[in-house]
Amino acid sequence: MKILRMTLAALSLSAVSSMVLAAGNPLSVHVLNLENGLPSPGVNVTLEKHVGQTWEPLAQGVTNEQGRIGELFPAKQAFETGEYRVVFKTGEYFKKTGHETFFPEIPVIFEVKNADQHYHIPLLLSPYGFSTYRGS
């Protein structure tokens, strides 16, 4: 019974820390390799905002050992409504892992309609295909 209580407490703290992270930064990404079912560490990712006819660079990061960047949006900047683009530098990643790829980079354009929400952009990746969606 004590082990069950400790497990439940740990799960509750984990859920709370995930919520705090999501509340602290409005944008996160996650890259998973569909070929082997594992996270993709070391993927360079850039964030840009659509301003007029151009894309303005905002931030860049590299996925960690879990294939995640938990805080991609710049901390000192206001998160606003508008169009954003996350670009996953997949060519560099596959080259480092000794694989060829058809997609040297994967741009994901998304629209922020409510700047009070957290936006999570997962990328499911393989050398010759990918899928993405709005995560939570």
Detail the residues annotated as belonging to a binding site for substrate: 30, 68, 133
Beta-sheet pairing, 54-62 with 106-112: unpaired
Q: Which residues are annotated as a binding site?
A: 30, 68, 133
Q: Which helix (H) or strand (E) holds 16?
A: helix 2-24
Cα–Cα distance between 91 and 106 in angstroms, integer?
Answer: 9
Residue in the block written with tokens 């082990």? 3
**For residue 11, how far is the Cα from the chain centroid?**
23
CA atoms lying within 13 Å on the CB side of residue 20? 6
User: 131 is written with which tokens?
Assistant: 């899928």
Contacts of 21 (CB under 8 A, 6+ apart): 28, 70, 71
